[in-house]
Amino acid sequence: MIIYNPCNEELIKISRTKKQIKPIDKKINIIMIDFNDLHSLFYHSVSKSCIAKNILPKKPLKVTITDYWNVVNEAIPTIMNEKDKYHKNIRFLILYTEYFKNNRILDTYELTREIEKFKNFKEILEYVKREIPIVINKSIKKSYIKKYFYTQAGYYKNSLEYESQRYLYELSHSIAKGAA
């Protein structure tokens, strides 16, 4: 199944095959989703906005705080390195944050609207600093938060000379302190 989102110039291919599609137009972003691994939030977002819902398999949603933190961990350095081209890199970040914040999966149009609210990368970093500690402290046990996020802060402590690592260090520390 191929879904085209003209708003973002994205082509989403949901398939069992690993065959890659090469776009003719370099502006089009192609997202490949493995049909066998359709329990991710992004799949549920795509399927929610897909007209042919009956074609897609239904699997239970399994999302953990560790998955969420991995998304944050990947998004922050990318946002800080690509300060002008952040829109495509924050999709998962916004999707996961809104899921844990409101227990709701945004469809692709809602997700696009949320992303377009940000005028620059600094607003995204402010959003992350404001929302993520609240969301995480609301979602899991305090003892787990302290253990997990103090450990994460320890990993980042060795690389504080990098701006993104320092940001993640401060963020993980504020999450752990919020659980204290």
Percent of the chain's residues with pLDDT above 70 = 66
Is residue 93 within 8 Å of residue 70, measured between CB atoms? Answer: no
pLDDT tens sequence across 38-96: 555 555 566 555 544 444 445 555 677 888 888 888 889 888 888 777 677 788 889 88
- Ranking 14-23, 50-59, 121-130, 151-160 by mean pLDDT, the lowest is 50-59
Q: What is the pLDDT of residue 56?
A: 47
Between residues 37 and 153, which one has the greater pLDDT? 153
pLDDT at 12 over 80: no
Name the pLDDT band for 165 (thresholds 50, 70, 90): confident
Higher pLDDT, 26 or 148: 148
Q: Could you state, in order of their start, the residue ranges of all structural domains in the chain?
A: 2-55, 65-178
Average pLDDT over residues 26-34: 68
pLDDT, residue 53, reads: 45
pLDDT (0 to 100) of residue 130: 92
Q: What is the mean pLDDT of residues 153-174?
A: 86
Burial of 35 (0-12, 13-18, 19+ CB in 10 A): middle
Average pLDDT value for residue range 145-170: 85
**23 pLDDT more than 70:** no
Interval 137-149: pLDDT, tens:
887 888 888 888 8
Q: How many angstroms separate the Cα of 128 from the Cα of each of 1, 17, 135?
A: 33, 35, 10
